[in-house]
Structure 1
Amino acid sequence: MAHYKAPDHKREQFRRYLEKAGVVDSLTSVLVALYEQPEKPNNALEFVKQHLGTPGLNAADTEALQEEVMDLRQRCARLEEENQDLKARLEPLEPPEEEAPPAE
């Protein structure tokens, strides 16, 4: 019998965790909103994704943000390359490092 109680205990812990984190309330409100739609959307999963995501953030916003991330990554890569180039050009101009005097 103890074998059957362990999974139930874990399941109950997980359920409390989801409730405490607000996941159950969020899912419930989204499903209620879907239920109350006079015309059900063709893609229920997309409806849930849109309503669970960041409020006010739509697919166009997400796409714009993804493009901005790509642009910033490319810019960062170019700047890192430029930085390496400038360091390489500066290296011959730097005075040689003096060796520290031996400890007495």
Structure 2
Amino acid sequence: MSTRKEEFRQTIESNGLIDTLTRILTSLYEEPERPEKPLEFLMQELGAKSHEKLTKENKDLQQKVKALKKEIKNLKSKISKCGGNEEDSDEKENEKENEKEKKENEKEESENENEEEKENEEEN
């Protein structure tokens, strides 16, 4: 065996890759029914999150950000009501925030549409 191949073998062995792959392939072999998508099975066994899970997590976090932005907006309006003289600057700031939020929503909708198109293309 060449020196390069031996170094490679030692590297993957010392980092536990051989043991991990052996364990995963053994679990695949021991499955009562073969998975439709073996690659996804391997990724799942390695602890990788699927695209669908990441997409759902992303959407959940985006909704949380929206809710927090609304809460900030409401708190700022309450502060401006208590402060009195600061209403004009707060109103302008609220308008800017509303415009920014509207642009972000439009961008998010566009990204979601593009993502759905890609998923549909992958399925076909």
Q: TM-score, normalised by structure 2?
A: 0.42
| Larger Rg over CA atoms | 1
- Whichever structure has more helix as a proportion of its residues is 2
Higher relative contact order (CA 8 A, sep 6+): 1
**Given the two structures, how large is their TM-score scaled by the length of structure 1?**
0.49
